[in-house]
A and B are shown apart, each in its own frame.
Chain A
């Protein structure tokens, strides 16, 4: 197990190093004349790498603030959305994944799941906003009126209410990824021959499911943690745009639109790091569940 963790840690470090190089390449575009030719770009890139080594992240050309301050202000809201999304994803995605992951229900539910999964996140967000505005008469900040954030936690009831729809949007996207990972893992576990042999050895079906199949399925979910994180971050970008939240994903979209490459590079690096760390944690967790080592 230790060797596996060290291996994965090495891959994580290599990934973070590559993400830093990529971020430096994007940030280099903000250097004057960097786009004039390969030689100019390489010089600008080397300069940005040097600045990164000395922990100088540059300034946003839009706000004039240091990128570090900009990220520190904006990131908590995005992380809060992702965190709330994880809770919704677990509450909705796990039961759906288990319910529709095996047996005849799986075949019957497959077309329904395809229909639900065909809705892009921004359509789901707009539909939620429409439902909240017309059925619950909530004030919905979808047209840049009262924007949400920054800050991970709402300060009052109005802010808490405003956070419900973005969190639900992100959570439902996460739930789709979670149920997909669970159904995939359940389908793989369903084809394993050891289920049959364990029953032939006298184990009750429930014991086989509880002690052997469930860990396999949860391990499958953990192994897909990187993909779940990608779905959550992507949905956060859309939710922040739809519901006028001033988070890091919103900063990325605006920075790219206004060619503020330093800010865009910083957000890219943070998002890539989050995904890589989720992959690392997920792989180690999956390994622990399926191959706990000689102690057990």
Chain B
């Protein structure tokens, strides 16, 4: 009997449990986002709801900020704005990153190498700076597109390099030798590669673009009031959070929980697999 088997089973069990936890958390966040207008006791950006800079108490669970806004309501609206920006961005990153990279590796050599070179240059830039540049070139309303496109080059390069290896694999040679067309082989490879990993890739992309979007907002290149996302809320609290910790702590904690659930849903071995 192989003594390694129980350990592997234990590791897989832990991984599955945590992935389920991640997806459950994301599901709960989706419910909170869709019901945010009902769950929040005040509309977004509603000032003078309570006294200024009240610490967390029975009346105001997350306290109030410098304009007397209820931090619990604001955090719920901020979470909603962050998720609404991040979901389309994650889809764009997935489509133009991993998926496009896998397809591009099988295009004619000249086209595929040119694409690899172009995207390789973009991947040499920090995604955050690329997102800021795209937002400044377009408009703040396009922040989702900018975040998705800025996260895509690195995913493209990884997908391309992985698919290049696969295109030279033995099964590809056999397939070509038996008369299977390139298009059919591409379709089969894509189905094989993504059928088991699509949800994990989507969750990973969600975590990445959430970090990019919130950081861009923090630097002043994202959402605008009254639709403040969590990054902008933390940026607004920067001037007084040293004396009123709750104004930054609760939005930051909420943002971290969102990213954590997305990372758990992506699987614990994220980054440990090539």
Binding site for B on A (CB under 8 A): 14-15, 18-19, 22, 26, 29, 104, 107, 110-111, 114-115, 117-123, 126-127, 129-130, 133-134, 140, 142-143, 180, 183-184, 187-188, 226, 230, 233-234, 237-238, 241-242, 249, 252-253, 256-257, 259, 264, 268, 271-272, 275-276, 279
B234 touches A122 (CB 8 A): yes
When chains A and B are docked, how far (Å) is the Cα of A15 from the Cα of B234? 37
Q: Which 3 A-B pairs have the closest CB atoms?
A: A234-B126, A118-B260, A18-B121
Name the B residues within 8 Å of A272 (CB-CB).
121, 124-125
Contact pick for B241, options A18, A122, A126, CB 8 Å: A126
B111 near A: Cβ within 8 Å?
no
Name the B residues within 8 Å of A115 (CB-CB).
260
**Smallest CB gap from B128: residue in A:** A234
Name the B residues within 8 Å of A130 (CB-CB).
241-242, 245
**Smallest CB gap from B132: residue in A:** A256
Name the A residues within 8 Å of B263 (CB-CB).
114, 117-118
A18 touches B117 (CB 8 A): yes
When chains A and B are docked, how far (Å) is the Cα of A241 from the Cα of B274? 33
Name the A residues within 8 Å of B271 (CB-CB).
180, 183-184
B120 touches A120 (CB 8 A): no
B242 to chain A, nearest CB (A): 5
Name the B residues within 8 Å of A140 (CB-CB).
242
Name the B residues within 8 Å of A257 (CB-CB).
136, 220-221
B121 touches A22 (CB 8 A): yes
**Smallest CB gap from A107: residue in B:** B11
A268 touches B133 (CB 8 A): yes
A234 touches B127 (CB 8 A): yes
Stretch of B68-76, B88-96, B210-218 at the chain-chain interface: B210-218
Name the A residues within 8 Å of B128 (CB-CB).
234, 237-238
When chains A and B are docked, how far (Å) is the Cα of A104 from the Cα of B268? 14
B16 to chain A, nearest CB (A): 13
| Dominant secondary structure of chain A at its interface with chain B | helix
Contact pick for A120, options B239, B248, B259, CB 8 Å: B259
**Smallest CB gap from A183: residue in B:** B272
B117 touches A111 (CB 8 A): no
Name the B residues within 8 Å of A226 (CB-CB).
124
Chain B contact residue count (CB 8 A cutoff): 52
Tell me which residues from 115 to 162 in chain B have a Cβ below 8 Å from any Cβ of chain A.
117-118, 120-122, 124-129, 132-133, 136-137, 154
**Smallest CB gap from A279: residue in B:** B124
A192 to chain B, nearest CB (A): 13
Tell me which residues from 39 to 63 in chain B have a Cβ below 8 Å from any Cβ of chain A.
none
B12 to chain A, nearest CB (A): 10
B242 touches A241 (CB 8 A): no
B273 touches A184 (CB 8 A): yes
**Smallest CB gap from A21: residue in B:** B121
Name the B residues within 8 Å of A237 (CB-CB).
126, 128-129, 219
Name the B residues within 8 Å of A126 (CB-CB).
234, 238, 241, 248, 252
B255 near A: Cβ within 8 Å?
yes
Name the A residues within 8 Å of B118 (CB-CB).
18
When chains A and B are docked, how far (Å) is the Cα of A121 from the Cα of B273? 24
A253 touches B219 (CB 8 A): yes
Contact pick for A114, options B11, B218, B260, CB 8 Å: B260
Name the B residues within 8 Å of A119 (CB-CB).
256, 259
Tell me which residues from 233 to 274 in chain B have a Cβ below 8 Å from any Cβ of chain A.
234, 238-239, 241-242, 245, 248, 252, 255-257, 259-260, 263-264, 268-274
A143 touches B239 (CB 8 A): yes
Would you mind naming 10 contact pairs between A and B with Cβ atoms under 8 Å apart? A15-B117, A15-B120, A107-B14, A111-B264, A188-B274, A257-B221, A268-B133, A271-B124, A271-B126, A276-B124
B238 touches A142 (CB 8 A): yes
B256 touches A123 (CB 8 A): yes
B33 to chain A, nearest CB (A): 18
When chains A and B are docked, how far (Å) is the Cα of A22 from the Cα of B18? 42
B183 near A: Cβ within 8 Å?
no
Name the A residues within 8 Å of B14 (CB-CB).
107
When chains A and B are docked, how far (Å) is the Cα of A188 from the Cα of B273? 7
When chains A and B are docked, how far (Å) is the Cα of A124 from the Cα of B224? 23
**Smallest CB gap from A176: residue in B:** B271
Contact pick for A187, options B10, B121, B245, B269, CB 8 Å: B269
B170 near A: Cβ within 8 Å?
no
**Extra 8 A-B pairs, beta carbons < 8 Å, given A119-B259, A120-B256:** A15-B117, A15-B120, A120-B211, A126-B248, A187-B269, A256-B132, A256-B133, A272-B125
B7 near A: Cβ within 8 Å?
yes
A271 touches B7 (CB 8 A): no
A106 to chain B, nearest CB (A): 8
B38 to chain A, nearest CB (A): 28
